[in-house]
Structure 1
Amino acid sequence: MEWQFFLEVLVGGLLAGVMYSLVALGFVLIYKASGVFNFAQGAMVLFAALSFVSIQAMGVPFWLALLLTLALMVLLGVGIERVVLRPLVNQPPITLFMATIGLSFFLEGLAQMVWGTDVHGLELGIADEPFDVGGVFISKFDLFAAAVGGTLVALLALFFSKTKLGRALRAVADDHQAAMSVGIPLKHIWAIVWGVAGFVALVAGLLWGSRLGVQFALTLVVLKALPVLILGGFTSVPGAIIGGLIIGAGEKLAEVYLGPFVGGGIENWFPYMLALLFLLVRPEGLFGEKHIERV
């Protein structure tokens, strides 16, 4: 039936949107705490997926490989903050942004040098097959990915709102100087945020690597996170998930219902057109903070 087909497309888009949100979440965490737009997040996703499959290929059991990769990504995140960004504190935002672009190319080259350039399959034990829910067929893998993404977002939201460290992170995000004046160790906070961003990159890398295969094209996933950030806001964890749902559902519906009228490939550019239109109405995003300048 027509309504069942519409629901299948809509639900499929919403679940795919959660996958986009996972990548956007890494951007939000770092930007929220330090004001740095981390262009290297896509390279971190690739590095995490490639590290996991390479460690597992050595005969290491799944859960041990997962723990080893998690430790590696946390150390990578903390190391990036310590070696690359800490020396650039108080530099103009464009300087920090360019540093993350250089970091992106460095991580891609490092991954290629250490792990090679072969395309790897990644199996999480969740079959990508349809699951019948009241006559609507939904991918089991998409449901699994959505559950993982939703759980991660909920845990991070609770972390920011309920824990002492989370409140310190929010204070740093609001005003660096004020946070330092009340004794919050700014450098430690940034190191923790980058470590958490490494963990988020691992989760996104495993899910996207299982869906697309572990290959260097994974770094392009970062491009789909940009319209998600524009819609949800660069500093909002819930905004990352809401923006992802809107982009995911929008591109799937556009592909099915508008694609035949405008030619193929609409899903590749429709999210950016939607983000551009949104910028004209609410440039700070749905959950972003409004900036008022008085002159």
Structure 2
Amino acid sequence: MAFFLETLIGGLMSGMLYSLVALGFVLIFKASGVFNFAQGAMVLFAALAMARFAEWIPKYLGVDSKVLALVLAFMAAMVLMVALAWLIERLVLGKMVNQDGISLLMATLGISYFLDGFGQTIFGSDIYKIDVGMPKDPIFLLDKIFPGGILVSQEDLVAALIAATLVAALASFFQFTSTGRALRAVADDHQAAQSIGIPLNRIWVIVWSVAGFVALVAGVIWGSKLGVQFSLSVLALKALPLVILGGLTSVPGAIIGGLILGVGEKLAEVFIGPYLGGGIEIWFAYVLALIFLLVRPQGLFGEKIIDRV
């Protein structure tokens, strides 16, 4: 029972990180009505920026305090992501208002490949480490109930708490702010939103900036755990089937879907993997998404779209 709970808790903590990345997809989809395939590349780009700025600031600015250097590095990386959002709107999305969804989809694919290459050009392609002081030692919980207790990674626990806090803040942003309501209006109909005075340019800059902030936080967490490397962009794309699972436009769906995916892949890998040769975590998310596409294409919390002709 203790081993099952360890696996379950580990899956829930991984699921919160998946939910955090999935929110980036939901944000962009709500604003433009298309998958943002660049979200994974944004995670890598933001993590590279954070890692390199954390190295350069003490070296070139003479900042001796590690905490201050990390804060300045995070702020510099955030400014870079906002500038990137402004450039994406100005050079790409602003030129494609009211275009077909496939055109916007191809645009995000182009942005993704550009960010992958450009990030490594200016920041380098080595494996970098982000040390933000997250505790590495595991802890044992419920040792009075289960012999030996339940082993929990402090780093995963802190990462999950940060992700949960940010997820809750973004969910409140969507539900209770005028900008969040404007985002939903833009997602429903670009032309109608423009006709009632909602500026698409400003909305797109805001939503890409928020998605950049989400990518930065996710990149810092994963960079601290795994190191900043090219595989981060691929890891972040695992949130794609999660969005299908929860629903393309649903913030609660992204949260619940992330938890289901995190727990499901961990339990499957531990309890079924030995009988199938392992490797279930690699394909579990995509098979689960395929099943949902066949049974419930709109996802758990997505809305059914009915076209009357």
Q: TM-score range by the shorter chain?
A: over 0.9
In 2, distance between residues paired with 1:138 and 1:51?
30
Match of 1:54 among 52, 55, 62: 52
In 2, distance between residues paired with 1:156 and 1:148?
12
CA distances 1:202-256 after superposition (whole Å, capped 9, x unpaired): 0111011111110111110133111211111111112111111111100000001
Contact 1:259–1:265 (8 Å) recurs in 2? yes
Q: Which residues in structure 2 correspond to 1:143-292 (within 5 Å)?
A: 143-292=157-306
Give the drift of 1:121: 1.1
Alignment RMSD: 1.3
Task: Tell me the residue number matched to 1:23.
Answer: 21
CA distances 1:54-82 after superposition (whole Å, capped 9, x unpaired): 11111151111111111111111221122
What secondary structure does 1:231 align onto? helix
Unaligned 5+ segments in structure 1 are none
Contact 2:98–2:191 (8 Å) recurs in 1? no
Match of 1:130 among 135, 138, 157: 138
In 2, distance between residues paired with 1:196 and 1:151?
15
Match of 1:142 among 147, 156, 179: 156
In 1, distance between residues paired with 2:269 and 2:150?
19
Structure 1 stretches of at least 4 aligned residues deviating more than 3 Å after TM superposition:
none
Aligned amino acid, residue 17 of structure 1: G
Task: Tell me the residue number matched to 2:308.
Answer: 294
Contact 1:119–1:213 (8 Å) recurs in 2? yes
In 2, distance between residues paired with 1:141 and 1:237?
25
1:94 pairs with 2:108? no
Task: Tell me the residue number matched to 1:116.
Answer: 124
In 2, distance between residues paired with 1:179 and 1:92?
17
In 1, distance between residues paired with 2:136 and 2:292?
33
Q: How many residues are aligned here?
A: 293
Contact 1:121–1:213 (8 Å) recurs in 2? yes
Match of 2:82 among 74, 80, 92: 74
What secondary structure does 1:239 align onto? helix
Query: TM-score, structure 2 length as denominator?
Result: 0.91
Percent identity, aligned pairs only, is 63
